[in-house]
Amino acid sequence: METIRQLQLQLKQRQLNSYSLIEKSLNQAKNSSDVMTAIYADQAMSSAQHADSLIATGATNSPLLGLPITIKDLFDVQGQTTMAGTVVCAGEPAAAQDAPAVSRLKNAGAVILGKTNMSEFAFSGVGINPHYGTPVNPFDLDTARIPGGSSSGAAVSVASGFAVAGLGSDTGGSLRIPASLCGLVGFKNSQYRVPRAGAVELARSLDTVGAITRCVDDAIILDQVLSGQDLAVQARALKGLRLAIPNTLMMDDLDETVAKSFSKLLITLTQAGVEIREISLKELDEIAHINQPGGLSPIEGYAAQGARIEADPSKVDHRVVQRMYMGKGISAADYLHLMDRRKNWIERVNSVIEPFDALICPTVPIVAQPIQALLDSDDEFFRVNRLLLRNTFAINFLDGCSISIPCHVQGDLPVGLMISASCGKDSVVLGIALAIEAHLKKSHSK
């Protein structure tokens, strides 16, 4: 799948029509095991025909007009029951209207192919789902590897080439983790910028709506549609850019592939004039203590989904139940104390990172792991899950904005670079990502 701008140019110049593009995408989607939980073939083909008629009249003002997009099964689509990767929602009323994020995509002319698979209740960075199967990471056809989660199907739909973007969510890394493991771009915007209504809730203090795309420019286009804001992002000049690497926590336990890719990235950025400084952001070590008792995600997750789980826990993945129950019975006083400690922590961290343009680190410290090993062992599942969420969750806890872009050495499994900043600095993060992405493409072409 080419970039959004490339496809729009082909549509405008009549080198391509939406009908044939969507027909091909639907065929691929139907043949992609465990990626889609619902396919809207008739509606998609009708939308494609409508897009072609608009394009024929010269109405090509929307960059998403006639292009295929998938929707994580966390979002309401009118007339459909939102399953959220579980089976306990079966029989619940169908959504009365589209979630605002879905509505904005449709209003922009995007063709919705259907709903994508996900971690149950969005509660895992791994992407395994015992009810609907696990989408296989398309970067290794010899070994079935995890796609990352919780927006697993969203990532694989883009990586497999039948969608230009996958609408997803990010509570602790659920956009950036699968983007990193699948060689894609995942942008976690500042939480307040995109409405979360009509999305099944996990943790209201952390949940963020965004998209997984093929490149940074595509991420900017999706952000504009989803947020209704044009940030007018421009690529930053690399020379003189000040980037900080937190050497507390975020650089621990890197596997060989990730360490090699990140080391080479630092060399090439330094040669381009980027000022990179390691900082001892010791506040990161405080997260585990502050995020107690229970943990913010389990506390708010149980409050949101506890009734569904308690109706029949046997129908929910025991790994999800185990973590949700960590938030059961937490007092209001303990919850409010946690929120107060978090607020103080955010203020202190922001004061430390304020002199820098952004923080950088590997998105996750490991490459995509084989699925079977995690199915066979709960201990291995939780070990990998903790590693996958470690770096990304810190930015959600900070209430910041963050993007993962591919930075792996060609021929290796995908590795992501995470670029992060304080809340509201979305345009800064995107501008830096544009510049680094362009620099890496230039370096790889040599």
Cite the active site residues. Answer: 72, 150, 174
Which tokens belong to 154?
């969203």
What is the token pair recorded at 198? 């009509």
Read off the tokens for 109: 């002319």
Please give, one letter per residue, the 3-state secondary structure of 195-245. Answer: CCCCECCCCCCCCCEEEEECCHHHHHHHHHHHHCCCCCCCCCCCCCCEEEE
Nearest CA among 182, 202, 177, 111 for reference residue 385: 177
The partner residues of 438 in beta bridges, in order of sequence, read: none
Q: With contact defined as beta carbons under 8 Å apart, do 400 and 393 qualify?
A: no
The single residue listed with the structure tokens 């960059």 is 63
- Rounded distance, CA 362 to CA 260, Å? 11
Peptide linkage before 100 cis (omega within 30 of 0)? no
Q: Could you give phi then psi for residue 346, rounded to 5 degrees? A: -60, -45
